[in-house]
Amino acid sequence: MRKASLLFGLITCLSFSQNKQVLYGFSELPQSLLQNPGGQIKNDWYFGIPLLSHIHVNGGSSGISVYDLFAKDGVDFNVKLQNAVNKMKSTDFFIFNQQLEIFSAGFAMGPSYKKKEYLSFGLYQETDFIAYFPKDIAVLALEGNANNINRRFNLNHVNVNAEVISVLHVGYNKKVNSSFTYGVRGKIYSNIINLNSTNNKGVFVTIPGENNFYNHIFNLDLELRTSGLNSITEEDSDFSGKDLVKRTLLGGNLGLGFDIGFTYNLTKQWSLDASLLDVGFVRHSKDIKNYVVDGVYSFEGINPLFPETDTGQTAEDYWNEVGEDFEDLFELDSTATKYTTWRPVKLNASLNYSFGKKQSEDCNCLKEDNGYLNAVGMQLYAINRPKQPQLALTAYYYRRLFNNLRVKATYTIDSYSFNNVGLGISTHLGGFNFYVMADNFLQYKNIYNAQSVSLQLGFNYIFNKK
């Protein structure tokens, strides 16, 4: 049972990250402004098709893949599970991230002959989950404590954060001159559900006992904070779809944040850009329920001798009493204390070089990129996480195949692998735009061995004045 529980946790946590390396810098797509509010603008106005303009799911595990456990290679499953636990570290993580753009739009401002300012706005929903691998807990579950006397099992390996949130945003972009463009974006967060347990401390150790064979000592300082869950999980809950919509539309626990970014053209062919995203917080003050276990507890196990029959206590009563004693050992406090969580800050930066045959200056179709058909560059991505930042480095190649078809290929080194190849395609039919992006193509021949997968797609209507 313990192995099955551990296996279930490993598989269900195989999940997702937030790097959008294919979308970043794909400046003909309006959604790229969410990656850099100071990016170059390629349209006069646009609107996203509601609920379809940006659908994003990508994922990975930094430790193992499903193939590590289920490969038909003749190795016993229990051996694979033991090897997987031994291989992973307490800094390995499982992540899930999903985004759905509910609506979005943008338009250029100013005199028609120069329109150097651009306003964009929208609302999107995001799910973000991260859990670090509880190394010592997994070892204890697999091996038990009989062969680990006097070993200290660290409980700070338990580290998890999950949230479902909606983000209402308004962005401003200004082209100062031919070389420099900057942008800012303000955000109002409405947290729908939050689960946070990232500051745990404590140890579990088994030592020889005085009144029994072993004495189990728990030195605990554990806390789980939740908001938005209690009204959903309570027995008599009347939570409905209307309540979900209300929380999405600024009826949840609120917070504020901002993005900033810029693009600087070093020459006609070289450019530098960077952005800082989700600098912000959420204040949790509604529907709060927190759980705390704090203290030192000792349990010397059970006495194998049954009680005297003349006491009237049956064996079943005895064992029930033992179970209740163990449950009563831990004092679980429940509170409604308000708390604040910080959004995972993200950093993007890239250096880019445009090249290729330059078209006639009369060709409007390429004027926004000075007529160059190709671009290559390097992008750095970082995200702040509870234990340590996660980093990724991407090399890319961008190509305009036709006036209405663009492609971008990426090669990424990150926490999951050193051979992540991605591809993005954007096409136009009149003002209608469709794009699709995915990465880790080298692993598609055996998707179960992939430690990360990603998919983005969307539909927009984009108007470019001729």
Asked if residue 170 has pLDDT above 90, the reply is yes
Instruction: Please tell me the distance from the alpha carbon of residue 329 to that of residue 435, in angstroms, as a whole number.
Output: 57
Lowest-pLDDT range of 59-68, 297-306, 357-366, 427-436: 357-366
More confident residue, 444 or 131: 131
More confident residue, 334 or 192: 192
When pLDDT is averaged across residues 218-246 and rounded to a whole number, the result is 86
CA distances from 338 to 15, 225, 287, 292, 335 (A): 29, 9, 10, 14, 9
In terms of average pLDDT, the best of 4-13, 81-90, 105-114 is 81-90
At 414 the pLDDT is 82
DSSP 296-346: EEEE-----SPPPGGGT--HHHHHHHHHHHHHHHS-EEEE---EEEE---E
Asked if residue 245 has pLDDT above 60, the reply is yes
Instruction: Please tell me the distance from the alpha carbon of residue 393 to that of residue 384, in angstroms, as a whole number.
Output: 15
Residue 29 · residue 104 · CB < 8 Å = no
At 317 the pLDDT is 65
At 448 the pLDDT is 58
At 238 the pLDDT is 78
Region of 25 (left: φ > 0; alpha: ψ -120 to 50; beta: rest) is left
Report the DSSP beta bridge partners of residue 130.
95, 161
For the segment 87-101, what is each residue's pLDDT rounded down to a tens digit?
888 888 888 899 999
Instruction: Please tell me the distance from the alpha carbon of residue 414 to that of residue 19, in angstroms, as a whole number.
Output: 10
Split at pLDDT 50, 70, 90, the class of 364 is very low
CB atoms within 10 A of CB 12: 10
Asked if residue 4 has pLDDT above 50, the reply is no
Asked if residue 67 has pLDDT above 80, the reply is no
CA distances from 238 to 241, 285, 355 (A): 10, 20, 60
Instruction: Please tell me the distance from the alpha carbon of residue 404 to that of residue 28, in angstroms, as a whole number.
Output: 11
In sequence order, the 6+-apart residues with CB closer than 8 A to the CB of 8 are none
Residue 175 · residue 183 · CB < 8 Å = no
pTM: 0.84
When pLDDT is averaged across residues 57-73 and rounded to a whole number, the result is 74
Lowest-pLDDT range of 271-285, 290-304, 389-403: 290-304
More confident residue, 324 or 376: 376
Burial pattern 164-178, b for ≥16 Cβ within 10 A else e, equals bbbbbbebbbbbeee
Query: What are the structure tokens assigned to 464, written together?
Result: 């470019």
At 361 the pLDDT is 47
Asked if residue 146 has pLDDT above 90, the reply is no
Residue 71 · residue 213 · CB < 8 Å = no
Asked if residue 13 has pLDDT above 70, the reply is no
Asked if residue 18 has pLDDT above 90, the reply is no
